[in-house]
Amino acid sequence: MDDKRARFEEQVLPHLDAAYRFARWLCYAPGDADDVVQEAVLRAFRGFEALRGSDAKAWLLAIVRNCHFTAAKQQQRRAFVPLPEENDEVDGHAMVATTPDPESDSIRSDQKKVLERLLESLPEEHRTVLMLREIEEMDYAQIASVTQVPIGTVMSRLARSRAALKAKWLQDVEGVPRAVR
Amino acid sequence: MQCAESLRVQAYFDGEVDAVSGAEIERHADHCNECRALLEDLQKVRATLRRDVPYAATPPKLRAQILRALDQEGATGLRIAETPPATSRTARRPPVFRGRSFWTGAFSGIGGAAIAAAMVFFLVLPGALSPLTNDLVSAHVRSLMPAHLIDVVSTDRHTVKPWFAGHADVSPVVADFESQGYKLIGGRADYIDHQRSAVVVYQHGPHVINVFTWSAGNLRNLSNTTRNGYHLAFWQQGDIQYCAVSDTGWDELLGLVRLMRAEG
């Protein structure tokens, strides 16, 4: 294996899972996410020299985002935008958590479905900022790099998405009796 | 109706303010009902998302496909070097990464500019100098020197946890996650934040992960950071402050954090 490939595997590929999750949040259709991630990794490899010691995760995710927009534009040009379908859930097998879930009772799984739908209903740029913060645990500076917006915009999007989730979800679900907590 | 301080309170919650501003915001929240409620809501939303959003990994099939594509890329790369670059869509260069230079961008947006300008005064850059961070990295590096890593060698949680009772001020979560790739290899007592800290030691592939734990004391908002190539992930469980330190990747480190949180 040549040197560039080895360095790429060491510095960039550890963030492949994060890139995959990010693509899933952007696309919301597993097949599309696969294509976007693969294209992004190849582009990252070709432009690996541009990384030069900066934050590899934020860099890779920024490329994923660009690939997603390129793909979305091409789809629009073909005037074909697949709508989310009922059976998308069957394809959702890849979203299996990597950790065993100790509480898998039906109430929890219902809540998870509600949460997933609510996240889907958020505007994309709000959803992605929220997930980068809460799930990828990136700081404001990294999120600003990935989404290419000023840090003030990151903050207002975070505030709005959190408020929307709280309003829609916590009120809804907290009416349901909880088995735990 | 929203308190004018809400964005600052959010920044405080996200660990993006320095200690002075943090104390100011805490004082404000003491007598602002709205901001106190906001902090609770932020915590609820975070807890819910971290508990219920699936933490997906790349499907093995896709990973293999990507590695194959990279193999081909390496092979064709040699040919491309000799011939003019292809003009196909896929040959486009990736964007040049702007890195931390967003600070200049922060002032170019229209709506965001005013907020950003106001924020600059109390936002701290990630990895701001902190003696605690230095202590943790030093303790991690020291532990990697011969015979310093482990005081009690055991892969059994029932051996490690009771050992801490006599040697440290806290009793942290101790569990083995060998099947998930994080093997419990033992425990150690250390001295962090002026306390006898309990350190749980894991092996992940070739990497050692030290999980430092100490009594959280007052509400301190520590955010994840990287120092000298070591990643530090902070979190709290109950009244215990945790910090996992390692030279492994963020994903690997946060994978362990997730497992430990689920255990707590």
DSSP-derived secondary structure for A70-96: HHHHHHHHTT--PPP-TTHHHHGGGG-
Residue boundaries of the structural domains of chain B = 6-54+99-119, 60-91, 131-263
pLDDT at residue number B55: 78
Question: What percentage of residues in chain B have a pLDDT greater than 70?
Answer: 75
Q: Do B115 and A134 touch (CB under 8 A)?
A: no
Burial grade of B219 (CB within 10 A; 0-12, 13-18, 19 or more)? exposed
pLDDT category of residue A179 using cuts at 50, 70 and 90: very low
Those of residues 105-144 in A touching chain B at CB distance below 8 A are: 108, 111-112, 115, 119, 130-131, 133-135, 137, 139-142, 144
Nearest to A145 among B52, B73, B99 (CB): B99
For residue B199, pLDDT beyond 90: yes
Domain boundaries A1-83, CATH class:
mainly alpha
User: CA torsion sign, B216 to B218 to B219 to B222?
Assistant: negative
pLDDT category of residue A157 using cuts at 50, 70 and 90: very high
Q: What is the rounded distance in angstroms from the CA atom of residue B52 to the CA atom of residue B82?
A: 51
The mean pLDDT of B99-112, rounded to a whole number, is 44
For residue A15, pLDDT beyond 70: yes
Chain A / chain B CB contacts < 8 angstroms: 211
Over residues A90-108, the pLDDT tens digits come to 444 444 444 444 455 566 6
pLDDT category of residue B229 using cuts at 50, 70 and 90: confident
Nearest chain B residue to A168, by CA: B45
Q: How many residues does the structure list for chain A?
A: 181
Fold of domain B131-263: Protein Transport Mog1p; Chain A (3.40.1000)
pLDDT category of residue B84 using cuts at 50, 70 and 90: very low
Those of residues 9-38 in B touching chain A at CB distance below 8 A are: 10-11, 14-16
Q: What is the rounded distance in angstroms from the CA atom of residue B70 to the CA atom of residue B74?
A: 6
Min CA distance, B86 vs chain A (Å)?
13
* Among the listed residues A39, A166, A139, A178, the one whose alpha carbon sits nearest the alpha carbon of residue B44: A166
pTM: 0.53
pLDDT at residue number B4: 85
pLDDT at residue number A62: 94
pLDDT at residue number B121: 43
Question: Which pair of tokens denotes residue B10?
Answer: 């959010």
The mean pLDDT of B69-73, rounded to a whole number, is 87
CA dihedral B224, B237, A112, A127 (to 10 degrees): -20
pLDDT at residue number B232: 92
The mean pLDDT of B12-16, rounded to a whole number, is 92
Judging contacts by C-beta atoms under 8 Å, the chain B residues touching residue A145 are: 97-100, 102
pLDDT at residue number A100: 47
Q: What is the rounded distance in angstroms from the CA atom of residue A92 to the CA atom of residue A90?
A: 5
Those of residues 56-85 in A touching chain B at CB distance below 8 A are: 57-59, 62-63, 66
Over residues A46-92, the pLDDT tens digits come to 999 888 778 899 999 999 999 998 887 777 665 444 444 444 444 44
Q: What is the rounded distance in angstroms from the CA atom of residue B245 to the CA atom of residue B227?
A: 10
Where are the alpha helices (H) located in chain A, listed in sequence order? 3-11, 16-27, 30-46, 56-77, 88-91, 106-121, 124-134, 140-147, 151-165, 171-174
Over residues B15-56, the pLDDT tens digits come to 998 888 889 999 999 999 999 999 999 999 998 888 888 878
Residue with tokens 């709290």: B236
Q: Do A170 and B113 touch (CB under 8 A)?
A: no
Q: Do B49 and A152 touch (CB under 8 A)?
A: no
Residue limits of CATH 1.10.10.10 in chain A: 101-181
For residue B97, pLDDT beyond 80: no
Question: Which pair of tokens denotes residue B204?
Answer: 């992940």
ipTM of the complex in this document? 0.76
pLDDT at residue number A162: 94
Q: What is the rounded distance in angstroms from the CA atom of residue B168 to the CA atom of residue B170?
A: 6
Poorest-pLDDT segment among A142-146, B113-117, B189-193: B113-117
* Among the listed residues B50, B25, B230, B250, the one whose alpha carbon sits nearest the alpha carbon of residue B123: B25
pLDDT at residue number B105: 43
Min CA distance, B262 vs chain A (Å)?
8
How much is the mean pLDDT over chain A?
79
Q: Do A159 and B7 touch (CB under 8 A)?
A: yes
Question: What CATH number has the domain spanning A101-181?
Answer: 1.10.10.10
Min CA distance, B185 vs chain A (Å)?
20
pLDDT at residue number B125: 42
Q: Is B175 helix (H, G, I), strand (E, B) or coil?
A: coil
Q: What is the rounded distance in angstroms from the CA atom of residue A169 to the CA atom of residue B49?
A: 11
pLDDT at residue number A104: 52
Q: What is the rounded distance in angstroms from the CA atom of residue B172 to the CA atom of residue B241?
A: 9
Residue limits of CATH 1.10.1740.10 in chain A: 1-83
Q: Is B245 helix (H, G, I), strand (E, B) or coil?
A: strand
Those of residues 87-126 in B touching chain A at CB distance below 8 A are: 90-100, 102-103, 105-109, 111-117, 119, 123, 125-126
Cβ-contact B116, A150 below 8 angstroms: yes
**Rg from Cα positions in chain A:** 18
More confident call, B6 vs A29: B6
Min CA distance, A83 vs chain B (Å)?
22
